[in-house]
Amino acid sequence: MKLRILGCSGGIGNGAQTTAMLLDGDVLIDAGTGVGNLTLDELIAIDHIFVTHAHLDHIACIPFLIDTVGSLRTQPVTIHATQATLATLESHLFNWQLWPDFTKIPNSSSPYMRYEALALGDVTDLNGRRIIPLPANHVVPTVGYQLDSGRASLIFTGDTTTNPALWPIANQIENLKYLIIESAFCNQKRDIAIRSKHLCPSLLAEELEKFERDADIYISHLKPGEADVTMAEIQHSIARFKPRRLENNQSFEF
């Protein structure tokens, strides 16, 4: 499996793009603004989108992607998410008011897009690639994902704060190679992080005390304008893990 980071920022501007990751050319993990950097051929090749949650920075490009490629494909793009997230997309986005309902275009029997509900622990097997929703703790229903090639696994936590349900699962993944975890705010904004159910470096340090695997750790969702400060605080507080900043166009093979 090869995962390419299209966007991993908590905002936009000066090259920053919001969360989107391309797996093996045909699967998106979230579809934030980073999707906009793909070529038309790359967009047409996307068969599946696994959504962590319905916040705009993680779904912004789904409407434009479907509108762009729908008539150029022979099969619908499948949107995988929890039932709660799918209900939000259906009610508040693809509702004919904010955007057309592409599950009914050009007609219900041959749509450009289809929904597929998933739940925690469900395994979606795409030709030997296992994608498994993991618990997350955010202000709306949210999941993370384990991507498992068989040889190795990567965990993407999605947007989350203190999340005791995740670590017993993560600690049992024997082939875990990479952990991508967020820190949306610096320590000065710990109160905002707590209220918005994100992490900051001090909260992240507390969380990683529960992590028992030897995996490479990458930090996502850094806010433009304070990313350097936040990373410095992270590297000071969890130095033993040697955390690194996730970057656009970075690739992971596992």
pLDDT in tens, 137-147: 999 999 999 99
Instruction: List the one residue out of 28, 32, 23, 25 whose CA is nearest residue 221.
Output: 32
Q: For the sheet containing 251-253, what is the strand order?
A: 113-118, 77-82, 48-50, 27-31, 20-23, 2-7, 251-253
CA-CA distance, 59 to 26, in Å (whole number)?
17
For the question of whether the overall pTM of this predicted structure is more than 0.85, the answer is yes
pLDDT band for position 212 (cuts 50, 70, 90): very high
Query: Using CA atoms, how far apart are residues 186 and 221, in angstroms rounded to an integer?
Result: 11
Residue 191: pLDDT band (50, 70, 90) is very high
Closest CA to 252 of 165, 169, 148: 148
Domains of the chain: 2-253 (3.60.15.10)
Q: Give CA–CA dist 90/27, Å, rounded.
A: 21
DSSP state of 223: P
Instruction: Enumerate the H helices of 45-92 as residue ranges.
Output: 56-59, 62-69, 83-92
